[in-house]
Amino acid sequence: MRSPASQASSSQLAGEDAIMSSQASPSIQATPQPPPLSAMDQNPPSGSLSAAPSVPSGSQSPPLLSIATLAQLRVGCKVWVSKDHDYRVAELLSIHTKKGEPVFYVHYRDFNKRLDEWVTAPRLDLSRPVEWPRPEKPKKAPASAASKNSKNSKDTPLARDRKIKRSRVPAKIAKAAQVARARGKENIEVGLVRDDGDPFLDGLTPGTTNNGTPMTSTPSEDVDAKDTDLMDLDDMQPETTDGLQPENYSREEEIEKLRTSGSMTQNAHEVARVRNFMKVQFGQHEIEPWYFSPYPIELTEDECLYICEFCLSYYGSIKQFQRHRVKCQLQHPPGNEIYRDENVSFFEIDGRRQRTWCRNLCLLSKLFLDHKTLYYDVDPFLFYCMTRRDELGHHLVGYFSKEKESAEQYNVACILTLPQYQRLGYGKLLIDFSYELSKKEGKLGSPEKPLSDLGLLSYRAYWSDTIIELLADEDRDVKETTIEEIATVTSMTTQDVLHTLQTLNMLKYYRGQHIICLTNGVLEYREKLQKRRRRKLDPQKLQWKPPVFTPAQLRFAW
């Protein structure tokens, strides 16, 4: 969650959650002159303009362009729209009539969804060709049994034998090999070396093996949905429920399955693509939401949503909200206060005991988290809320949720800092608190993957700062260390530590062993960190014991 919106869109990395401030895009007083038309724009394809051009089903022709009128535009068209004193290509997601004039909800190409907005007709440049949506691909008819038999009859016995041997490789073997490779890297001992221009270190090469070949690194688990181009999809093999590779395998179908399944699944309904509130009144702050949130549809008739900052109840009318504020007696989150210092406090809330409050919290966070899907079933989670105190009570700053029992040992499921408190250091404070809880539990923790775009930025910055401060601490006087020792001190997983060292180009190979090299650039960065005024937690003020749940308390089928 960040500011301004244009900077957030270019960064494109979370989380979970994370952490920038939202600013409304500046209003345009006068429509700027469109840039000169290109050769393609000056000579649009000929054809009738009475209807959108069509494409034969299954064809892979380039995008269809043609001049269109305002009445011919429909959902899915891509047009040029005035944005920040320039023209950009945007897709029409919704078309409505407001006060007798058409308004269009647009998504700008190569921009984050948080910049989507309603625009009026004068901001559209219809002198340029409009790109029409492609028709849906026809579904493939299932192959008949006769064709399968004829295909199998052409296979030779040797080919069938090879196919069976290749297809019956259990997935567990490949997974075990991957884990073994990862453990092999985790247990490497590395020497701690300072790169001060010593010619003795001139032979160091980052990321190489003892024979000079490039060192292959294990892909990090915190790859964002936008970073899928870093993975080789040709090497990804689909698996069936019994661990066997299916015979009829389509690469296009597998890629489409990866994009539309898992925790990154988006709401298939078109209504979820359109932001349903223009502004939210939260306490003394008026916030512009970023994404759709499944609040009751009757509240969407008004552009503003009123939310109580203490009990998180929501209202569509200012009179109803004012009547509620007179009656509301809550002044802090309904949980146990487990940490307090002169700046912030932390409360622990059980989702099973405070279902209504936690559901309202999830609905609020969905306004600023695109990939968040949980907002109803809150029983399996604990919520840790950070607040600021004044004479009126505890004001919510941010929170993170955590599974009561996590098979993958995740210490954070979802993390959010409200936009009005972003870029003030509270995001790293939330992350730091999650690792303090992991230290109390005696476990290594990591956030749930994949992270959101801004969440990934925040975690990478936190991991880098923590590891650099640890290794460059002169009071420790450590000559050698290992990846596991760093993970134990920081409560980070070895995968996160190894990934951060590789990202900072600090892990090098020299004379048969891996070493961590503190370069001059890293040392200069540490000096800048020491000059910053950073918010820090005092572990001595944390009054908390890891909760223990009985099997009956972990049954959530109610």
Asked whether the beta carbons of 288 and 278 are under 8 A apart, the reply is: yes
| 258 φ, ψ (degrees, to nearest 5) | -65, -35
Tell me how far CA of residue 463 lies from CA of 77, 278, 401, in angstroms: 42, 35, 20
Contact at 8 Å (CB) between 446 and 9?
A: no
- Out of 309, 448, 524, 527, the active site residue is 448
Model pLDDT, residue 268: 45
**Do residues 55 and 61 lie in contact, with contact meaning Cβ atoms separated by under 8 Å?**
yes
Q: Do residues 52 and 109 lie in contact, with contact meaning Cβ atoms separated by under 8 Å?
A: no
Question: How far apart are the C-alpha atoms of 370 and 266, rounded to whole Å?
Answer: 9
**CA–CA separation, 537 and 533 (whole Å):** 13
Measured CA to CA, the distance from residue 353 to residue 332 in angstroms comes to 16
Read off the tokens for 514: 């891996």
What tokens appear for 531 in the block? 């000059």
Beta bridge partners of 174: none
Helices 483-490 + 171-186 axis angle, to 10: 90
480 counts as catalytic:
no
Give the integer Cα–Cα distance in Å for 312 and 332. Answer: 11
Give residue 488's pLDDT. 94
Q: Can you tell me the distance from the alpha carbon of 441 to that of 482, in angstroms, rounded to the nearest whole number?
A: 22
Contact by Cβ (8 Å): 90, 101: no
Q: How far is CA 405 from CA 334, 487, 551, in A?
A: 22, 21, 11
Q: Which residues have CB under 8 Å from 108's CB, separation 6+?
A: 81, 83, 88, 89, 90, 115, 116
Rounded CA separation 326/340 (Å): 28
**What one-character DSSP code corresponds to residue 449?**
S
Tokens standing for residue 54: 């069509």
**How crowded is the C-beta side of 145, counted as CA atoms within 13 Å?**
0
Interatomic CA distance for residues 222 and 219, integer angstroms: 9
Three-class DSSP labels, 362-419:
HHHHHCCCCCCCCCCCCCCEEEEEEEEEECCEEEEEEEEEEECCCCCCEEECEEEECH
Predicted TM-score of the model (pTM): 0.67
Q: Helix or strand or coil: residue 350? A: strand
Q: Per-residue confidence of the chain (558 residues) as pLDDT tens digits? A: 444 443 433 333 334 344 333 333 333 334 444 444 443 344 343 333 333 444 444 444 556 888 999 999 999 999 999 998 899 999 999 998 888 899 999 999 989 888 999 999 999 999 999 999 887 777 666 555 445 554 444 445 444 444 444 444 445 444 544 554 555 444 444 455 555 444 333 333 344 433 443 333 333 333 333 333 323 323 333 333 333 334 444 556 654 544 444 333 344 456 688 998 999 999 999 999 999 999 998 998 887 999 999 999 999 999 999 999 999 999 999 999 999 999 999 999 999 999 999 999 999 999 999 877 776 789 999 999 999 999 999 999 999 999 999 888 899 999 999 999 999 999 999 999 999 999 999 999 999 988 877 888 899 999 999 999 998 887 776 667 889 999 999 999 999 999 999 989 898 888 888 888 888 888 888 888 888 878 889 999 999 999 998 888 887 654
In angstroms, the CA 289 to CA 279 distance is: 6
Write the burial class of residue 89 (CB in 10 Å: 0-12 exposed, 13-18 middle, 19+ buried). middle
DSSP 116-140: -EEEEGGGEETTSPEEPPPPPPPPP
d(CA 15, CA 46): 46
Q: Which amino acid is at 230?
A: L
